[in-house]
Amino acid sequence: MKIGAAAVEITPPVGLAMDGYGARIGGAAGIHDPLWARVLVAEGEDGTAIGLVMADLLQIEERLQGLIAAEVLRTAGIPRDRLQLAGTHTHSGPAFSEPSAAEEVVGRAITGAVAEAWAGRREAVAAVGIGTIDGIGANRRPNGGPLDDRVTVARFDDLSGQPIATLVNYGCHPTTLGPDNNLYSADFPGVACARIEDALGGVALFSTGPQGDVNPGGYSPEGSMVGVVAPWRTFESAGRYGAAIADVAVAVHRGLRPEPSARVWGSAAIVELRRKPLPDAGVAREAARAAAATAATIRAADLSPDATYHAVVAAAYAELIAGQAGDPQRDEDVAIRISALAFGPLVHLGVSGELFTALGQRIRAAVGDDRTCIAALCDGTVGYLPTADAFGVGGYEPNASVLVAGEGERLADAIIRLAQGAPAA
């Protein structure tokens, strides 16, 4: 097995709209820390080529995926079904919802990094291990829920023992920074990668695991939706979280003993999921207008902060449903991409959505906890992928999801079947 890795800065110009929070006011006013794209590629003895891109973006939009995939196929021969294009899901990066020159620059930078990694690939040994961490992620659901405290670490060295890459996977929203932040930042994944690279050398990739119901500290996602930010959501906290993850990853890495592996494999599939029923678009839009008017009246009346908050949240939910109801694809199934790459002993799964923790645990238990990890926001996103019981409880994620209850479990089973197709390590 040959492994290559590369990293490239992708921080765009200041002034662009930022992604992640509808409540954010204004675009990027500056740069707190740079945004990066990091790349891992592998080539098997039979010429099989696979690649993984982890970029400090909310997600990699479909249009940008197409640009990258076409160039990667041309320069490295990696086909689309063996290429994962994932965002770390930082909420402090640029929004590329529309075509732009800045998006094209980022795309060219990423394809250049893939070409660099491919050109520098060399015979390698690998190992995978797991550490645990607490004090960062918390399940944010109204009734609580599971938390996966595992930090999966994959180590890739050349035959002389020099580091090529370290991949770290941990499931938590990279949303330490809230909608009040207008500075570009990779949040805690960026801190973790920088510290790992300083400590170990090589390229460090942060793969964001199932995080649909987990964020730093368990703050209310409804608060973020309407612009209410907990005071501890600061750059200092992001630095502390990233440093803690890096410390665990470095300790696990140093305890691993890499071995040769010939397994290089990849596959992908599209799963069609049922979309939830929605009200008539006109009715939903009128309900949103009424809820907004009620919120404005309550705010003007200077009632209690609690009453104002609940009215504003209700208006935000009504607007969310109106947006879903007005979607031209509202009556069509939801196509979601799933993928699997085997870098020697590591099976790196991808899903184009925000998977709940319990579903991630279900997948890993079925295909091998110790050498498997899952990247959310991989090859775009269809939004939240809750468990069936979450719909009965309600709250932000089921409301934001476009799926029918139970489709998350069906998706998890499809990912399990895909992963089970990997050859033995």
**CA–CA distance, 31 with 13 (Å, rounded to integer):** 9
Look at residue 58 and tell me if it is in a domain: yes
Look at residue 276 and tell me if it is in a domain: no
Mention every residue, 6+ apart, whose C-beta is less than 8 A from residue 161.
Answer: none
Each residue of 346-376: pLDDT tens digit? 999 999 999 999 999 999 999 988 899 999 9
pLDDT value at 306 more than 90: no
- Residue 324 confidence (pLDDT): 95
Look at residue 161 and tell me if it is in a domain: yes
- Residue 227 confidence (pLDDT): 87
Q: Which of 145-154, 162-171, 306-315 has the lowest mean pLDDT?
A: 306-315
Mention every residue, 6+ apart, whose C-beta is less than 8 A from residue 131.
Answer: 150, 151, 153, 248, 249, 251, 252
What's the full length of the chain, in residues? 425
* Per-residue pLDDT band at 143 (split at 50, 70, 90): confident
pLDDT mean over 326-346: 96
- Residue 282 confidence (pLDDT): 95
Look at residue 163 and tell me if it is in a domain: yes
Same domain, 160 and 218: yes
Same domain, 298 and 175: no
Look at residue 278 and tell me if it is in a domain: no
Same domain, 307 and 377: no
Range of the domain at 406: 2-269+334-419
Look at residue 425 and tell me if it is in a domain: no
Same domain, 360 and 297: no
Each residue of 176-192: pLDDT tens digit? 999 999 999 999 999 99
pLDDT value at 172 more than 90: yes
The domain tally of the chain equals: 2
Average pLDDT over the chain, rounded to an integer: 96
Each residue of 1-58: pLDDT tens digit? 999 999 999 999 999 999 999 999 999 999 999 999 999 999 999 999 999 999 999 9
CB contact at 8 A, 284 and 321 = yes
Same domain, 169 and 247: yes
Same domain, 362 and 249: yes
**CA–CA distance, 334 with 324 (Å, rounded to integer):** 13
pLDDT mean over 67-95: 98
Same domain, 169 and 306: no
Same domain, 413 and 289: no
Same domain, 292 and 389: no
Same domain, 143 and 228: yes
Same domain, 289 and 176: no
Look at residue 319 and tell me if it is in a domain: no
Same domain, 136 and 230: yes
Each residue of 238-277: pLDDT tens digit? 999 999 999 999 999 999 999 999 999 999 999 999 999 9
- Residue 79 confidence (pLDDT): 98
Q: What is the CA radius of gyration of the chain?
A: 21
pLDDT value at 425 more than 90: no
